[in-house]
Amino acid sequence: MSTGGEKGSATTKTPADFLKSIRGRPVVVKLNSGVDYRGILACLDGYMNIAMEQTEEYVNGQLKNKYGDAFIRGNNVLYISTSKRTLAEGA
């Protein structure tokens, strides 16, 4: 609970810092329904509305659809995670 040591601390990261740092990178977005969307995070807003590119839809771990661009309403999002797309792409 010290107040003096927080300024300039490189280890303190907020969720907003994390979200800014992953823009343009591969992510997994899990919805409340259990469906996963994997793609490149294009942008998001304060309501967690998400725009993605090169999006793939996975249901029960199986690829169901591929979309060029996708928009996900924020109230459906359970979590956002960074992803290693090399496994999905077969590289």
pLDDT confidence band for 10 (50 / 70 / 90)? low
Q: What is the mean pLDDT of residues 5-34?
A: 83
**Per-residue model confidence as pLDDT tens digits over 26-39:** 999 999 999 999 99
Which residue range(s) make up the domain with 51? 15-82
Question: Burial of 31 by CB count in 10 Å (0-12 exposed, 13-18 middle, 19+ buried)?
Answer: middle
* Residue 8 falls inside a structural domain: no
**Per-residue model confidence as pLDDT tens digits over 40-82:** 999 999 898 999 999 999 999 999 999 999 999 999 999 999 9
Side chain identity, residue 47:
Y
* Residue 87 falls inside a structural domain: no
CATH number of the CATH domain containing 53: 2.30.30.100
Q: Take residue 82 and report the two structure tokens written for it.
A: 């960074």
The model's pTM? 0.76
* Residue 61 falls inside a structural domain: yes
Tokens 């169901």 appear where?
Answer: 64
pLDDT confidence band for 91 (50 / 70 / 90)? very low
Total domain count, the chain: 1
